[in-house]
Structure 1
């Protein structure tokens, strides 16, 4: 979900690479005979000049101006060290479907990004990925960096081998309080006396009044709430995400057919979850009131971002990581009053229970899986680069930039320069530098030895200073918050994903086929439940009818298999530790 931690990019930069099975034996032979990563110099400079330029295609769904990695500052340094260049190829459309088609046709490039455990399982079962166990044994920095993750990653494969690494882990909870709720326009909050919005009823009342008071914004018709439901993770993932706002569930299970009960340590069915139902009911009310943008069902990120950047939307659902960038754009356009901040939401039942919110801390991140396929032309060179990316030199360059330009050392700690601070509000500058363009080499949300996060903007001491505009800081102050995460930290607690984030049903089995069927059923009927009911009574009647049809699929067999696998893998993990 999404899958979300690059807070200053207007959309998530998606990278994926894949390889042809027919070349697997040659690639494996080449890998086995290659020099181990640990025998290379950390910089790679001693051998880079002697190697031919190695261009690797990277599939991306973002329409950006960067076509080759050596157009960025960081990319130029990588080329100097390793003579490797990444060629970014835009691939519009449904990404999950594209991966399945590539697998079926055997037509995939050299490094692959996978966004869920089920698709990863398909690639493992098809014998398309290179094992990384020998690599880990020869790359001590990589092994140390992912010491918690590696046993969990091995659990995700049916043979216990290591085939992947992931971006965005490990995580320090204080650095990344990931709460993606509702972006709200601050001028409308001010108009209504700075209400502390929380319940779904609060939002219905607030947004209705906001649309009445502001029929147009900057010459365009005002929209109540925007959502990119047309993204692959849209209707499937964020239409049901209300379950994470309460005190029982985290998003460790992803956005397939089950949810993870963090408190009771068990999987439950997603479609029949009470919070999922309340979330769909909330969207139905928004739709009936004319608050939910009718184009949400066809809007992808580009259309969503345009509406956010124009300021015409009073609110945005879940996708709040681009608020700061949108705010800076609105300021530059002469509309500093139209600012957005992230605010919490809870369903009626969640309000009544008033339980601590389970804020996900990812031990694994199945939304950002990376692997080397057996069609890699030079797998040993990819591994050499991957080993370097796990060193302090690599981690600091990829996530903090260059000393003197992006940070200085004060009392032994990195301090961001003014140039770095300015870049954070400029998407083009971030791309030109290379931030976010190399996440497939692994990005971490933890601290460096100096105690400062590798990505300096995550430093809790300066997070709001770097991330918030003056208007955002003023809004949180008016609401009585001491920081942008104040409410969430006071009312939530860390919830490590552990083994739960590694579980998936065998996609080649009958249960795997059933799992996909119940996901498809939920996606189709979620849209129906949002759009069609004209009253609360009609929603309830339709929901009961939908659930009756759903139960005929026997989804409980999938849930039971998830729980069986969880118990089995928990026992295996105890053995691997």
Structure 2
């Protein structure tokens, strides 16, 4: 992990008006900012400054979409943020809000200094147009040395972070290391494969044979054919398995043109395959509506063989669930199956983009001191800030061992408490506008989880579309039209899988997609992709 500069204490407060045009908390005042040039990380020279940078009156109010930790009312009660405030000499007041409350804040002028939000497509630009958040290019270029350094080192990240207009509106939650981005995939009961002398499947034909053998081979040993080989939690995994055919809702073909998988012949092949699994009892008939408790019951009853899930919340959680129930229970990660051209594609954006979570920290126009707010945000991307956020307070939740922050037994071995729960009370290691830490990953992930990630990361991601941003003119087609079509598509694919819709009507289904405007959606996505590609070239030059 590279060492970055810590944040500064000296700042020209008189530059505020020039930098941001920031308005006061008097919401009757309308002041627009004059940031007209996108950040050039190659020429930017942010100040190298030291802690603390606040003064006795410095205070930031922060509306955050993240849930307060278990047993705490807010981040204000987590020791790390008390230490954060002490180091920076800035009083911090976190206000945890729901998605609905965040939308209400954005619909009003009753704004805090900072918003930490999962920004949906076009939402940041809309908030800027409504004079609610600031363009951050100038502020970052002068007061965010750590974030600018990350952007400089990662041109693709920079090209995905900017909006369609080329400007930056937030500090993002980043997963820059590949291992941090690979945290879900398909998994299968290894003990059942061994019991039935089955090999791990590598393509869809082999998977069918394995599921058939499990259905007929009574691996749970109860003398009944009650196994349901392939289950899903409320359809989770359905959108990912199209990669076995080399397609996704949107993907890049071998000529780097953006395509919609729903219009390709491979999509029909996929639905016919799933229909066959469904008809033969290899796919859970309740795959689309199974809730968590029902999902767990099918596993604990010894019925399920394969499903999609997280390395932590899926594989590790299920292993813990099954430990007292079945000592022979063993899960293995299933590789991404090879398509007809011999490539094992994965088109999950989370695997490729450091920005896939879309979590960002934005500074509002109600902020009286955006320079201090910028420094506060940037400190999270320094080595010291990353350690504080990922590990908490030294001597309490971690100690240094051979130069590596190492969780104490308070985190790893509190009786009756899972490590994830204790992490949530003392750290924000798994989600906050920061660069996620590999040191956290190395200590949190158990060996079986790391082994699963090693399997899942062995895939071809060349067809994956990066994070795309849309102009105001494109948004209606890219979002509203697409959502309407997507709702129809979800309804139809379940009908095809379950046999409620005959494949004789498949051409009519595709014609309906076209009549609803799917080709227009593809065009605006292609335009956005070309804009991303051009931006990337400009950044790299």
Q: Which moved more, 1:552-561 or 1:63-72?
A: 63-72
Residue among 93, 111, 114 paired with 2:118:
114
Residue among 374, 380, 391 paired with 1:389:
380
Q: Distance in 2 between matches of 1:436 and 1:306?
A: 30
Contact 1:74 1:401 (8 Å CA) reproduced: yes
Deviation at 1:378, TM superposition (A): 5.8
The 1:154/1:400 distance shift into structure 2, 3 A limit, reads closer
Deviation at 1:271, TM superposition (A): 1.7
Deviation at 1:118, TM superposition (A): 4.8
> Where does residue 240 of structure 2 map in the other structure?
241
Offset from partner CA, 1:464-491 (integer Å, 9 cap, x none): xx4235xx89xxxxxxxxx5455556x5
> Where does residue 42 of structure 1 map in the other structure?
51
- Please list, as runs of the form range in 1=range in 2, the aligned pairs for 1:85-484 lying within 5 A after superposition: 85-89=93-97, 91=98, 110-114=114-118, 116-120=120-124, 122-124=126-128, 126-137=130-141, 138-147=143-152, 148=154, 151-153=158-160, 155-158=162-165, 160-169=166-175, 171-173=176-178, 175-176=179-180, 178=182, 180-210=184-214, 213=218, 224-229=229-234, 238-245=237-244, 258-261=250-253, 263-299=254-290, 313-327=304-318, 329-330=320-321, 333=324, 335-346=326-337, 350-355=338-343, 357=345, 362-372=352-362, 374=364, 376-377=366-367, 380=370, 381-401=372-392, 406=398, 408-410=400-402, 412=403, 426-436=419-429, 439-444=431-436, 454-456=437-439, 458-459=441-442, 466-469=445-448, 483-484=451-452
Q: Distance in 1 between matches of 2:101 and 2:340?
A: 43
Deviation at 1:132, TM superposition (A): 0.8
Name the SS of the counterpart of 2:65 in structure 1.
Answer: strand
Q: Distance in 2 between matches of 1:443 and 1:98?
A: 27
Contact 2:134 2:363 (8 Å CA) reproduced: yes
Structure 2 residues without counterparts, runs of 5 or longer: 1-23, 36-45
The 1:418/1:382 distance shift into structure 2, 3 A limit, reads same
TM-score by length of 2: 0.73
Aligned length: 490
Residue among 494, 498, 505 paired with 1:531:
498
Deviation at 1:267, TM superposition (A): 0.7
Name the SS of the counterpart of 1:129 in structure 2.
Answer: coil
Deviation at 1:326, TM superposition (A): 1.1
Contact 2:186 2:308 (8 Å CA) reproduced: yes
Contact 1:227 1:304 (8 Å CA) reproduced: yes
The 1:119/1:295 distance shift into structure 2, 3 A limit, reads farther
Deviation at 1:131, TM superposition (A): 1.0
Q: Distance in 1 between matches of 2:504 and 2:521?
A: 26
Q: Distance in 2 between matches of 1:509 and 1:376?
A: 27
Residue among 507, 511, 526 paired with 2:477:
511
Name the SS of the counterpart of 1:365 in structure 2.
Answer: coil
Structure 1 residues without counterparts, runs of 5 or longer: 1-19, 32-36, 252-256, 445-453, 474-482
> Where does residue 21 of structure 2 map in the other structure?
none
The 1:533/1:322 distance shift into structure 2, 3 A limit, reads same
Contact 2:180 2:438 (8 Å CA) reproduced: no
Offset from partner CA, 1:202-229 (integer Å, 9 cap, x none): 4444345545626799xxx865444344
Contact 1:269 1:559 (8 Å CA) reproduced: yes
Name the SS of the counterpart of 2:340 in structure 1.
Answer: helix
Deviation at 1:67, TM superposition (A): 3.1
Deviation at 1:402, TM superposition (A): 5.0
Name the SS of the counterpart of 1:184 in structure 2.
Answer: strand
Offset from partner CA, 1:515-534 (integer Å, 9 cap, x none): 33333332332333333348
Offset from partner CA, 1:390-431 (integer Å, 9 cap, x none): 111011222344556535342x55666676665896221221
Name the SS of the counterpart of 2:83 in structure 1.
Answer: helix
Q: Distance in 2 between matches of 1:486 and 1:116?
A: 31
User: In the alignment, does 2:523 pair up with 1:560?
Assistant: yes
Deviation at 1:365, TM superposition (A): 1.9
Deviation at 1:330, TM superposition (A): 2.6
Contact 2:69 2:75 (8 Å CA) reproduced: no
Q: Distance in 2 between matches of 1:428 and 1:61?
A: 13
Contact 1:366 1:502 (8 Å CA) reproduced: no
Name the SS of the counterpart of 2:306 in structure 1.
Answer: strand
Deviation at 1:297, TM superposition (A): 3.0
Contact 2:65 2:102 (8 Å CA) reproduced: no
Q: Distance in 1 between matches of 2:460 and 2:63?
A: 40
The 1:518/1:284 distance shift into structure 2, 3 A limit, reads same
Q: Distance in 1 between matches of 2:472 and 2:61?
A: 34
Q: Distance in 1 between matches of 2:435 and 2:295?
A: 26
Name the SS of the counterpart of 2:470 in structure 1.
Answer: coil
Q: Distance in 1 between matches of 2:366 and 2:298?
A: 41
Deviation at 1:136, TM superposition (A): 0.7
> Where does residue 502 of structure 1 map in the other structure?
468
Q: Distance in 1 between matches of 2:109 and 2:285?
A: 39
Deviation at 1:142, TM superposition (A): 1.6
TM-score by length of 1: 0.69
Contact 1:207 1:291 (8 Å CA) reproduced: yes
Contact 1:407 1:416 (8 Å CA) reproduced: yes
Name the SS of the counterpart of 1:344 in structure 2.
Answer: coil
User: In the alignment, does 2:488 pair up with 1:521?
Assistant: yes
Contact 2:311 2:452 (8 Å CA) reproduced: no
